[in-house]
Structure 1
Amino acid sequence: MNDFIAARSQMALSLGFHIVFSCIGMVMPFFMAVAHFLWLRTNDVVYRNITRAWSKGVAIFFATGAVSGTVLSFELGLLWPEFMKHAGPIFGMPFSLEGTAFFIEAIALGFFLYGWDRFNRWFHWITGVVVGVSGLISGILVVAANAWMNSPAGFDYVNGQYLNIDPIAAMFNDAWFSQALHMCVAAFVATGFAVAGIHALMIVRKRNVHFHTQSFKIAAVFACVAAILQPLSGDISAKDVAKRQPAKLAAMEAHYHTEAAAPLILGGIPDDEKQEVKYAVKLPGMLSFMVHSDFNTPVTGLDKVPENDRPPVAITHFAFQIMVGLGMLMLLISLLYFLALWKKKSWLEGKWLMRLFVLATPMGFIAVEAGWTVTEVGRQPWIINGIMRTADAVTPMPGIVYSFYIFTAVYISLSLIVTFLLYRQIKMVGRLYDVSPAV
């Protein structure tokens, strides 16, 4: 492994680790706020206990996410100094605003965790809402910075110089809305199905059933609504990518040849040498329709992209297929759940529906990781799309491969520690949160 691959691998590992905690930090406070609101309105002690239990999980994930996010900030400067030298003054604004949002989130979380029986009940609830809102804003701002890398704006690039810098135009670039929308909805899907799946497992095992049933309902509604909305946000995002990054779309779809009535490819194994996809199911004209709302409009293929400007097709295509496939499975589970709520109440009594949610527990986060793989690998070989190549931005310092090995060990250790803490927290719920009326 050379230093360039090591630098990219370390960044990918750091981002892949951090994105899980970012999603949970953006979404779990809203679950917590809903449970808290229901307690304030009903005085049903089970909702108070759900709020307390979830707040402990939020604290664990917030601490881990804060550390991993800080590491990412340092890595941008240490691993990609040429990138930050030019890009920092242009897209630095969303990062600085994200720091402010994070600061507010940390203060509000402190108020919430230590405000029980000390603040006015509704003010205490508001601090929890502020945690969620500031976390969501923080996530949107970071995605806006990433969107700028896909759709550079807010400067003029003249003879290798970055001139006439406009940070506002850079932050609100052409890609920020579609990426932020898709990421926020994905965060609700991933976190919702993970939380609902854990509570569904406890229901199947008949552990503290009332507590876990009420918890499951809150998480499942968030997850299922988001899963139904996700294909709509995905369509917006895909149309945007087709317009701004045709090479990325071609890699996502393994679309080698520019043609009218372009087929939508399901599955398959791309063969770069023969410029074809083996063992795929092809739906004639569907890619043209999805991109241009017309079955016959040509879609740009990789044959129109210079060979040294093409993204890695296999990785991008497989990641895209995984993301879409898991999204469709979660959409199906969501439709079944809402059908059960609406017409088939008896399904809620059976274990098969709960087991579906248990199976779906990791699906959302696997889809998120696959989606970020599409975003980052599909932009290659550019770190700033069409402006700066990733190879030109990497640090000249040697020994990055050892840094990658060290960080890999650290992240594996952190993952084991967080998993242990969450496992202990889930086991303690049954003992600490007795939901009998005597509490």
Structure 2
Amino acid sequence: MALFEMITAAVQLTPVEQDHLDQARQMQAMSFAVHIPLTCFGVAFPAIILFVEWLHLRTGDPLYRRLARRWSRIMVALFAVGVVTGTILSFELGILWPGFMGAFGDVFGLGFAIEGFAFFLEAIFIGIYVYGWDRMSPKWHFASGIPIVLTGILGAAMVIAVNGWMNHPGGFDLVNGEVTNVKPWTALFGNTFFWHELVHMYVAAYIVVGFVLAGAYAWGKLRGRWGRYERTALAIPLTIACVAAPVQLLVGDWAAREVASHQPVKLAALEGLQDTTKGAPEHILGWYDKDTGEIEWGISIPKLLSFLSYHDPNATVRGLTSVPPDDRPGPINTIRFAFQTMVGIGTGLAALAALVLFFRWRKKRLPESVWFDRALVLAGPAAIVALISGWIVTEVGRQPWVVYGVMRTNEAVTGAGGVPVGYALLAVVYAGLLAALAWILLRLSRTPLGDDAEVLH
């Protein structure tokens, strides 16, 4: 109730100035950058843990039970931090963006209500699962983990539905500036962006979690910790990530074509395309010069943008000048670099995945090279960078709109002062929170394997 009351009070504030719009956007961006990787672990990690426990039930091998049990402790730590960061995000929506919440809360509020319900169920079953290892039969314990997977997926789906609606709004009528005839189900699940964002994020979750886990054990291998337990703990998440990484290239193509159809100006920002062009080129790297409207120092590939966006090398792509300057996304270079970082890392991870799958298929083993281990160590952080870059593309590319084509971000922001102070304080909170998480994970990594350590090695 306290959270609801604070949000209600916040939406009653009338924004009078936007002196701190940039700080509010940066504050929200910082919260997303911290929370979104944790969301990946909330979506994919329980399913991976449950898969490992299923391997134990099928084979009777104690290694799998020990691995699932240790990973469940990590799941609890990450969930606890995710609770804190998710709560902060809830406060920020009401405090920083009262115009948005006040005008459209009836439209997307159902999504957040379902997300909250899913969160509480997830917390309950995580408690049952973690404390039920030695208190429940193996099959019932496995069954208690299924709701964790389902509620994690459901909660994330609701947030993605709201974001999809912000990019492709519908399910309401706007009469004299007032939102009427609200249809929440249509708004959440009838928007075109929901489906590709949903699949894109879920596949990304398995890529991030898989490569982060594999990278952690590859780091241990480089430091001399390498037995049967470590080999298994590396191979399972790595294989999952390597199956997901090539799939993400196809999903990314789908997402890009949806953006081209429904947000053509965002597409122009991704490339830095100044004028509407038939057979538009794609530039690799380079710097967008806002004075000339040209890409400097980039490698131009003729007609590639048209082909990737519409599967037609001669298709016409709208440029930035097709809309007034105030309606253009920005900063352009931020969007371009984030997009190219996402695509570049995604392509690199797909190439690494292809190498792994080739070795598993032809030689029935992983590559045996110190350079491969080093690549795995880098793959985890790189996957997180690609994930955050993708959300930068989505959110910054939608600017200057908070609800695309309906409400501008400067109409949604609070008029209250003190945003820079809150921004600085939140940075300190997050730094402390991440330091505490790192300490907890380090302690867990040093926990002995248990009485069956010899079996596991």
Which band: TM-score by shorter chain? over 0.9
Report SS of the residue matched to 1:378: helix
**Residue 170 (1) aligns with residue 187 (2):** yes
Amino acid of the residue matched to residue 171 of structure 2? G
| 1:208, distance to aligned residue in structure 2 (A) | 4.6
Equivalent of 1:262 in 280, 301, 308 = 280
| Distance change (3 Å), C-alpha of 1:433 and 1:262 | farther
Residue 117 (str. 1) matches residue 110 (str. 2):
no
Q: After the TM superposition, which segments of 4 or more aligned residues of structure 1 sit over 6 Å from their partners?
A: none
Counterpart of 1:416?
Answer: 435
Normalization by structure 2: what TM-score?
A: 0.93
Q: Which amino acid in structure 2 is aligned with residue 251 of structure 1? A: A
Superposition RMSD in Å: 1.6
Instruction: List runs of 5+ in structure 2 lacking aligned partners.
Output: 1-17
Aligned match of 1:209: 227
Could you report, residue by residue, the CA deviation over 1:363-420 in whole angstroms, capped at 9, with x for unpaired residues?
A: 1111111111111110111111111110111111111110111101101111111111
Moved more, 88-97 or 130-139: 130-139
Q: How does 1:274-289 map to 2 (within 5 A)?
A: 274-289=292-307
Are 1:2 and 1:401, in contact at CA under 8 Å, matched by a contact in 2? no
Deviation at 1:350, TM superposition (A): 3.3
Structure 2 letter corresponding to 1:247? V
Which letter does structure 2 place at the counterpart of 1:300? R
Residue 236 (structure 1) aligned with residue 254 (structure 2):
yes
Task: Say which of 109, 112, 116 aligns to 1:95.
Answer: 112
* One of 9, 26, 30 as aligned partner of 1:13: 30
The Cα shift of 1:73 comes to 0.9
Aligned mate of 1:355, from 351, 374, 381: 374
C-alpha contact 1:202 1:209 (8 A) present in aligned 2: no
Amino acid at match of 1:272: K
| Distance change in 2, residues 1:211/1:346 (3 Å) | closer
Pairwise CA distance, 1:204: 2.7
- TM-score, with length taken from structure 1: 0.97
Residue 382 of structure 1 corresponds to 401
- Whole-angstrom distance in 1 between the partners of 2:314 and 2:195: 28
Unaligned runs of 5+ in 1: none
Is it true that 1:66 corresponds to 2:83 in the alignment? yes
Aligned to 2:454, the other structure's residue is in SS state: coil
Shift of 1:31: 1.3
Aligned to 1:319: 338
Which SS does the other structure have where 2:453 is aligned?
Answer: coil
How much has 1:181 moved relative to structure 2? Answer: 0.9
Which of 205-214 and 142-151 deviates more? 205-214
Contact 1:347–1:353 at 8 Å: present in 2 too? no
Total equivalences in the alignment: 438
Structure 1 position 55 matched with structure 2 position 72: yes
Alignment partners' CA distance in 2, 1:185 and 1:267: 26
SS of corresponding position for 1:395: coil
8 Å CA contact retained: 1:3, 1:400:
yes
Per the alignment, residue 189 of structure 1 pairs with 207
1:340 corresponds to: 359
Q: What is the aligned-residue identity percentage?
A: 39
The 10-residue stretch of structure 1 (212-221 or 341-350) with the greater mean CA deviation from structure 2: 341-350
User: CA shift at 1:351, angstroms?
Assistant: 3.1
CA contact (8 A) 2:66 2:449 kept: no
Offset at 1:432? 4.0
**Distance change (3 Å), C-alpha of 1:322 and 1:28:** same
**Which residue of structure 1 aligns with residue 143 of structure 2?**
126
In the TM superposition, what whole-angstrom CA distance separates every residue of 1:285-344 from its partner, at most 9, and x where no partner exists? 111111111110111111112101111111100100111111011001000000111124
Structure 2 Cα separation of the partners of residues 365 and 84 of structure 1: 29
Contact 1:260 1:296 in 2 (8 A): yes
Distance in 2 of aligned mates of 1:266 and 1:36: 44
Asked if 1:369 corresponds to 2:378, the answer is no
- Partner amino acid for 2:333? A
- In the aligned structure 2, how far is the partner of 1:203 from the partner of 1:129? 32
Contact 2:207 2:244 survives alignment (8 Å): yes
CA contact (8 A) 2:63 2:456 kept: no
The equivalent residue for 1:247 is 265
Asked if the contact 1:140–1:184 (Cα under 8 Å) also holds between the matched residues in 2, the reply is no
